[in-house]
Structure 1
Amino acid sequence: MDQKQDNGYQIGQGFPLQQGYLQQGNPQQSYRQQGKGVQYNPKQYTQPNDYMCCAIFVTICCCLPLGIVAIVKSTWVRTRLASGDTAGAEEASRSAKCWSIAALVTGLLVIFTAAALLVLRIADGAVNNFDTSGAFEANYI
């Protein structure tokens, strides 16, 4: 069972690994050496969403002022991630999401209110123009 390599050393010969040693390197990855092997333990970090598509959609379709604020907040997410500020990026992501939702709700309220007022105006015009006397009267200006 004594296996030799060409250079004269046994296979598997070497120094024992230290228990609990964390290797320095990429902050999104950690390696933990245990026993005679190295195990890869990825952190559960995911990049925060910037909600840029949602912000652009609500700016164009729903509410321009609030949508512009949502676009600015979503660009802050990308800027802060590029600078390495993950906590600031997560906060900007939540803020962009809130502004996008506020713009969507505001836009939908305005659209439905305008539609309801239009329907009421049409219904009111139809009721007021109905003549119960049976006589046809033309109004010319």
Structure 2
Amino acid sequence: MWLTTDQQRVWRSYLTMVTAFQRAMNRQLQADCGITLGDYDILVALSERGTLRVFELSETLAWEQSRLSHQLRRMRDRGLITREGSNEDRRGATVSLTPAGRAALEAAAPGHVALVQSVMFDGVGVDELRVLERWTTTALSRLAVSYQSDSS
């Protein structure tokens, strides 16, 4: 089974947009604040949810455990987060924001929000937002069902 011409065009455009936008966000964060998009994602999750166990953070971000472990080590080395708990049981360890991590997030957020606003939402109407929301919500629901059946 193949995608239709229209589906293929939209799919390729979507993939190109996601890649280019992630690159732009990463560049903006590094230039403005010296943090990466990965740092920002973790800082946001911890600011919204508080102290989390490593496995909860992994699930929140939908990141593989190894990627998260490497990112957390780098962030801990820079004083952005604390990681406490057992080295043997990585799932049992907890992660929290430090004052430096909170300050980095507060410094990064305005520029990041401005970029997201200008790229993704300026000039987009309410009806277009509803269609986009329905599209992404449906895809995420299908992925959740697929993921649940894979892990059973």
Do Structure 1 and Structure 2 share a fold, with TM-score over 0.5? no
Query: Which has the larger helix fraction?
Result: 2
TM superposition score normalised by structure 2: 0.23
Larger radius of gyration: 1
